[in-house]
Amino acid sequence: MASFDNNPYRVLLTGFGPFGRFRENPSWLAVKPLHNTVMEADGYEYSSPIIHDDHSAMIVDEDGPRPRQIHITSLLIPMEYGAALAIVPPIHATPPMLPRHGNDSLPFIAPPEDGYDFVLHVGVAGRGPLRMEKVGHKLGYRLKDATGAMAPVVAQESLVAREITEAERREMDRLTILNDRVGNRPPSEVVDPMGPLRGFGKGYENFDDDLYTEIDVEKLVVHLKETGIEQVYTSMDAGHYLCDFVYFCSLAESRRGASNRRGPDPEMQDVTKVLGLQIPPVGQPLSTEEVTEAIRRIILWVCRTG
């Protein structure tokens, strides 16, 4: 049996649950195989992960120092605003809390007491390259989730006057052409274009409307292209849907969690790194295996660059 470091990088991957014609969400198909696996941060980059059956078995190699290792946990988030608000904030609590059930029958892995080093949220967008999201948005959620529910109301102010962004339009088009229906609802019921302002209100007043990841996304994209992943680019708009909603929530909660842990010493605790990635449906153009490999390389780069 392989031995493991007692202080690995702890990485949390999230993917989304079923929605519309996706009985298995492509994002979950891509992150699920990495659950409970270990990689070496300074080891051979493209080798297969080691299945780590017992997270309590991590020890320092007695033969001498070895590269710090990376332990990965995968977590399924339902395509529901309410579920996102129930699951994401506890990820950044001290200690973090994960749901013990509803994770597609994967074994429960206890989160690290002092928090995750890196959280990567993976969602599905339309046909095309991987989209590395730089920013999460606080307001402007007008698309209904898999249950037909809307994001929380922030104010009764109408959004009619606000121009729909290109990313939002792509999300609307994608949601309304899933076999011409979403779930059992016609396309006309997917979007609420004339409703009140929705997003993050109470408890998030002190956060900016746009929160940016602290990861250097441009450098990461360059690295991925240099290692053979050409189908990737940066994005400034995750579409104001569940991917965007989870991303903003996680960015905000990572900052809140770090602030709570620091106390009077601002250098005491770093912010957990958070990144959002949107992938295409399977085969449009990337296979699930290609996306999973890209996710592995993203994790390796982020953990290596500190």
What is the residue-level pLDDT of the chain in tens, covering all 306 positions?
A: 334 566 889 999 999 999 877 889 999 999 999 999 999 876 543 344 444 444 333 334 455 556 789 999 999 999 999 999 999 999 999 999 999 999 999 999 999 999 999 999 999 988 899 999 999 999 989 888 999 899 999 976 654 445 666 666 666 665 554 444 444 444 445 566 567 889 999 999 999 999 999 999 999 999 999 999 999 999 998 989 999 999 999 999 999 977 765 554 444 456 899 999 999 999 999 999 999 999 999 999 999 887
CA distance 26 to 5: 32
Task: Please give the pLDDT value at position 169.
Answer: 65
Task: Please give the pLDDT value at position 126.
Answer: 86
- State the burial class of residue 227 (Cβ atoms within 10 Å of its Cβ: 0-12, 13-18, 19+): middle
Length of the chain: 306
- Pairing state between β 69-77 and 196-198: unpaired
218-263 pLDDT per residue, tens: 999 999 999 999 999 999 989 899 999 999 999 999 999 777 655 5
Cβ neighbors of 301 (< 8 A, separation 6 or more) are: 220, 223, 224
pTM of the model: 0.84
Task: Please give the pLDDT value at position 47.
Answer: 40
Which domains are assigned to the chain? 9-41+67-261+270-305 (3.40.630.20)
20-43 pLDDT per residue, tens: 778 899 999 999 999 999 998 765
The crossing angle, in degrees rounded to 10, of helices 81-91 and 242-262 is: 30
